[in-house]
Amino acid sequence: MYCPNCASKNTAGQKFCRSCGMNLSQISVSYKEQYGSEKDAAIAFWDRFFERFGKFAFGGLVGIIFVGVIILIYTVVTSMIFSGKNPVIGSFVAVFIIFAVMTLIWVFYNEAKKDRPNAKADEADKHLLEGTDTQDFLQTRSSNLFPL
């Protein structure tokens, strides 16, 4: 928290500024109401940090898996199809791997879409739009927003 008089940094619970002596009790109360305590701010900081770290780690894992799948497909194609040992089985294995990866991508995308807050609102609007005209939709929507 910064003093509004001299702009020096103070802790959130201080009653007076260390630099100019201004009374910070009301400012401290307002700051705590708006931002919470320093402990809450630290928890929020670490939550954001680990959220970004998790996304980075998951992205790295996905990249490594992608490279592994490419190597696996290359190995199947070169050892079974191009060598002529088992071209039919090699083709089925390669196609199976490709469709398995595509299915996993689709599942991850749909699960991520469910976690987004707008996706839930879009689904509710989609449900309301099915079989209704615009006037009915607007009346239903406005009655939900402003119940009497």
Q: How far apart are CA 112 and CA 55, in angstroms?
A: 12
What's the chain's average pLDDT? Answer: 78
Regarding whether 51 and 23 lie in a shared domain, the answer is: no
DSSP for the chain?
Answer: -B-TTT--B--TT-SB-TTT--B-HHHHHHHHHHH--HHHHHHHHHHHHHHHHHHHHHHHHHHHHHHHHHHHHHHHIIIIIISSSSHHHHHHHHHHHHHHHHHHHHHHHHHHHHHSHHHHHHHHHHHHHTT--HHHHHHHHHHHHS--
Regarding whether 83 and 29 lie in a shared domain, the answer is: no
Structure confidence at residue 9 (pLDDT): 85
Determine the structural domain holding residue 29 and report its residue range. 1-36
> Band of the pLDDT at 71, cuts 50, 70, 90?
very high
Instruction: Note whether residue 74 is domain-resident.
Output: yes
Instruction: Note whether residue 79 is domain-resident.
Output: yes
Q: Which residues does residue 16 pair with via DSSP β-bridges, in sequence order?
A: 23
Regarding whether 89 and 53 lie in a shared domain, the answer is: yes
**Its pTM surpasses 0.85:** no
| Domain count within the chain | 2
Regarding whether 107 and 59 lie in a shared domain, the answer is: yes
Regarding whether 100 and 53 lie in a shared domain, the answer is: yes
